[in-house]
Amino acid sequence: MKTVQRSPEPFFYPGGKTGILLLHGFTGTPSELRPMGQYFKDRGYTVHAPLLAGHGTSPEEMERTGWRDWWQSAVDAYDRMRAEPLEKLYVAGLSMGGCLSLALAAQKPVDGVIPMCAPIYIRDRRAFLARVVAPFYRYKKRSSHRDPHIEAHLCPYDRTPVRCVAELTRLIRHVKSQLAEVKVPALIVQAGKDELILEKSADYIYEHISSTDKEISWYERSTHIITVDRERNELFKEIEQFILERSS
């Protein structure tokens, strides 16, 4: 069995003149993006995946952060990439990281954006009650485990701060208000078996961004953590092709 390098630490791979900024998901870490980072590193790209504020530590530490802190982590990572001698910069994000990637594309100069399973509609509607119940119900226990081939890449918390779920819904509302400002090429990726968000999230993003160069790509056999699921190699190749076609 192949050993998986599982670490919550951020990573930075120096490479060529095209850079890719990778943003992880809610309660996630760069570990879920490491196979993607390695793929693009091996092909000569400059790659960076930061650890967002409050993540990769403890639920108690995360509870002290909110969406503006996660956004600032994304901006700091963007600034780090801009300090490199890049000619092109693309931003890709998984889940909440997909929302942050769209916010960056709305507010910062990038050459393209790849949101992957970005939540606009969360499958569990109780998430939108988190703001109400947070004062009385501090943590939600992690109730499900994913298939072993996915779980092997994750560094999850055993419980999620309910206050932070409320912050996630605030971030989603903020991103929805920013979508019209996204005008760069966009590859919107959505898993067909997404257990956490409704697939119509991808349609909403497509319909509300102002980009003329945009497409939705469906991965019918994949679940929410698409970057470590069974179709990941096809996903990485498609993203690379998307970048190559717009970087020539």
* Residue 26 labelled as part of a binding site: yes
Closest CA to 36 of 26, 51, 21: 21
The domains found in the chain, sorted by start residue, are 11-247 (3.40.50.1820)
Say if CB 111 and CB 19 are below 8 A apart.
no
* Residue 116 labelled as part of a binding site: no
| pLDDT value of residue 58 | 92
Cα distances (Å, whole numbers) of residue 3 to 6, 30, 149? 9, 17, 11
Measured CA to CA, the distance from residue 94 to residue 73 in angstroms comes to 15
**55 is annotated as an active-site residue:** no
pLDDT digits (tens, 9 = 90+) for 228-247: 999 999 999 999 999 999 98
Counting every residue, how long is the chain? Answer: 248
| pLDDT value of residue 110 | 99
Q: Among 194, 211, 222, 229, which one carries the catalytic annotation?
A: 194
| pLDDT value of residue 3 | 43
**194 is annotated as an active-site residue:** yes
49: helix, coil or strand?
A: strand
Q: Which residues of the chain have pLDDT under 50?
A: 1-3
Closest CA to 115 of 219, 186, 197, 165: 186
Both structure tokens of 156:
């999850």
**224 is annotated as an active-site residue:** yes
Q: Among 24, 31, 55, 95, which one carries the catalytic annotation?
A: 95
Torsion angle, CA of 238/200/184/26, rounded to 10 degrees? -80
**DSSP secondary structure string for all residues of 60-125:** HHHHT--HHHHHHHHHHHHHHHHTS--SEEEEEEETHHHHHHHHHHHHS--SEEEEES--SSBSSG
Q: Which amino acid is at 8?
A: P
User: Which residues, including other chains, have CB under 8 Å from residue 207's CB and lie 6 or more apart?
Assistant: none
Q: In what order do the strands lie in the sheet with 18-23?
A: 11-13, 46-49, 18-23, 88-94, 112-116, 186-191, 214-219
pLDDT digits (tens, 9 = 90+) for 55-77: 999 999 999 999 999 999 999 99
